[in-house]
């Protein structure tokens, strides 16, 4: 027994090596997608465990991106994540779009959904639910099959990912008017607030349910936090911009007449009224751990905003990345804990303004 311990301490045995390999494969990172390449977008891998409690000032991004996608600029909202894959669904004349697997670092291609799928004209909604990726765009509703078959000789040559049209179209048009969406803890239902109404879709029954004339208090994607037993997201209300809020989970099958109870977080995460603020994205890292990515104009670009009466295009920006935990304090207020910060400088490599400045970030 002592010999076995001695061998493991000095040189890893096969079992220790396999365990270390599994840990390395399972460790997740933050992936930032930036338009700093003249021919498209770069994807950077960030290890948030290396962050410090205080920000020492903007630093350079990692020297080499993990992958780059050739694509037209100004369409960052067409990126989606599903499992370990990043899908670059920017409109193009090609019959398929590229997919990058962050775990295997392999590139693949995936066909477009339905007829004219490569001509997405408005902001879509992507929802990764129960092993499948759902795409809402206009009045169309498509689902990507859960797993792509490997390139093995046992599969026919034309085998691959495929899309199917979901039989129940969304009970609304204009996906760009979706305020927020969140996955229910049942793991199969997602909620969508469109204008001032809220709906849910059950991926097993393939049916939409209307939950009344109310909307979730979140902006963009929110998350179910099992530790807090609540939905958590960035607040969409005027007085709560820059803060988190949490909301009781709505029953998946009930037709509610009012918004479930919710509360505003105590700590401000960013100043939404700052002239430097461009947009922010909240990413859930699991177990009440979160990451906020804020896009800011650099200090020397703030004067440009005044000169051009807010119709300017900030080519030099700062990405402020903050990781933190969440908990209820003794008074029941939602507070952040263990904040760590790091910021990065970036410069756009093009002259094409993006319709929105919300950073694109995935935890994978």
Tell me how far CA of residue 96 lies from CA of 117, 118, 225, 238, 333, in angstroms. 10, 8, 36, 41, 48
Question: How many residues in total does the chain contain?
Answer: 364
Under 8 Å between Cβ of 252 and 189: yes
Taking the CB of residue 117, how many other CB atoms lie within 10 A of it?
18
For the record, the structure tokens of 24 come out as 């390395």
CB contact set of 72 (below 8 Å; sequence gap of 6+): 40, 90, 91, 92, 352
The pLDDT > 70 percentage for the chain reads: 81
The answer to whether residue 298 scores a pLDDT higher than 90 is no
Tokens of 50: 């290396």
Mean pLDDT of the chain: 84
Cα(318)–Cα(280) distance, integer angstroms = 12
pLDDT for the residue numbered 173: 78
**Residue 159: which pLDDT band, with cuts at 50, 70 and 90?**
low
In angstroms, rounded to a whole number, what is the distance separating the alpha carbons of residues 185 and 207? 17
pLDDT of residue 116: 54
**Residue (of 237, 200, 199) closest to 218 by Cα position:** 237
Give the separation between CA 285 and CA 322, rounded to whole angstroms.
12
Q: What average pLDDT score do residues 241-251 get?
A: 96
- Encoding tokens for residue 223? 């998350």
pLDDT the model gives residue 2: 37
Mean pLDDT to the nearest integer, 311-316: 66
Residues in Cβ contact with 215 at an 8 Å cutoff, skipping those fewer than 6 apart: 179, 180, 193, 194, 195, 196, 197, 198, 259
Q: Are 353 and 73 in contact (CB under 8 A)?
A: no
Residue 253's pLDDT is 76
Q: CB count, 10 Å around CB of 249?
A: 16
- Average of pLDDT values for 313-331? 90
User: Which residue is listed with tokens 């059950």?
Assistant: 202
User: CA gyration radius for the chain?
Assistant: 22
CA 164 centroid distance within chain: 23
User: Does the structure show a pLDDT above 60 at 98?
Assistant: yes
Instruction: Confirm whether pTM is higher than 0.75.
Output: yes
185 falls in which pLDDT band (50, 70, 90)? Answer: very high
pLDDT for position 326? 98
Is the pLDDT at 315 greater than 80, yes or no? no
**CA–CA dist 290, 326 (Å, integer):** 8
**Residue 177: helix, strand or coil by DSSP?**
helix
Give yes or no for residue 163 having a pLDDT over 70. yes
Q: What is the pLDDT of residue 118?
A: 61
Rounded to 10 degrees, what is the CA torsion of 329, 330, 333, 334? Answer: 20
User: How high is the pLDDT of residue 94?
Assistant: 87
Per DSSP, the three-state class of 192 is strand
The dihedral over CA atoms of 112, 82, 42, 269, expressed in degrees to the nearest 10, equals 130
pLDDT score for 241: 96
Q: Range with the lowest mean pLDDT among 3-12, 22-31, 284-293, 329-338?
A: 3-12
In 102-237, the DSSP E strands lie at: 107-111, 125-129, 132-137, 140-144, 163-165, 178-183, 189-194, 197-202, 207-210, 220-221, 223-225, 230-234
Flag whether pLDDT at 310 surpasses 90.
no
How far apart, in whole angstroms, are the C-alpha atoms of residue 292 and residue 269? 8
């Amino acid at each position: 027994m002592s010999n076995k311990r001695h061998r493991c301490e000095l040189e890893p045995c096969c079992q220790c090596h396999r365990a270390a390999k599994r840990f390395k494969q399972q460790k997740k990172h933050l992936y930032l997608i930036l338009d700093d390449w003249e021919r498209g977008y770069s994807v950077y891998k960030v290890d948030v465990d290396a962050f410090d409690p205080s920000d020492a000032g903007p630093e350079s991004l990692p020297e080499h991106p993990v992958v780059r996608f050739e694509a037209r600029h100004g369409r960052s909202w067409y990126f989606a994540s599903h499992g370990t894959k990043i899908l670059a669904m920017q409109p193009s004349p090609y019959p398929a779009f590229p997919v990058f697997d962050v775990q295997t670092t392999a590139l693949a291609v995936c066909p477009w959904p339905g007829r004219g799928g490569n001509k997405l004209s408005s902001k879509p909604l992507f929802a990764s639910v129960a092993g499948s990726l759902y795409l809402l765009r206009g009045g169309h509703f498509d689902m990507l099959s859960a797993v792509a078959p490997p390139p093995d000789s046992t599969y026919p040559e034309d085998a691959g990912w495929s899309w199917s049209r979901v039989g129940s179209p969304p009970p609304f048009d204009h996906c760009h008017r979706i305020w927020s969406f969140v996955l229910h803890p049942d793991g199969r239902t997602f909620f969508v607030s469109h204008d001032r109404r809220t709906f849910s879709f059950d991926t097993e029954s393939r049916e939409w349910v209307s939950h009344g004339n109310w909307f979730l208090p979140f902006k963009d994607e929110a998350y179910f936090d099992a530790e807090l037993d609540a939905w958590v997201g960035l607040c969409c209300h005027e007085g709560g911009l820059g803060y988190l809020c949490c909301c009781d989970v709505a029953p998946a099958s009930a037709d509610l007449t009012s918004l479930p109870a919710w509360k505003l977080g105590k700590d401000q995460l960013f100043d939404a009224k700052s002239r430097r603020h461009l947009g922010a994205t909240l990413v859930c890292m699991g177990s009440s751990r979160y990451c906020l990515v804020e896009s800011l104009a650099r200090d020397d670009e703030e004067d440009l905003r005044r000169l051009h009466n807010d119709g300017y295009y900030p080519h030099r920006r700062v990405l402020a990345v903050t990781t933190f935990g969440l908990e209820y304090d003794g008074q029941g207020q939602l507070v952040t804990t263990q904040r760590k910060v790091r910021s990065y400088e970036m410069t756009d490599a093009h002259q094409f303004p993006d319709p929105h400045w919300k950073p694109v970030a995935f935890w994978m």
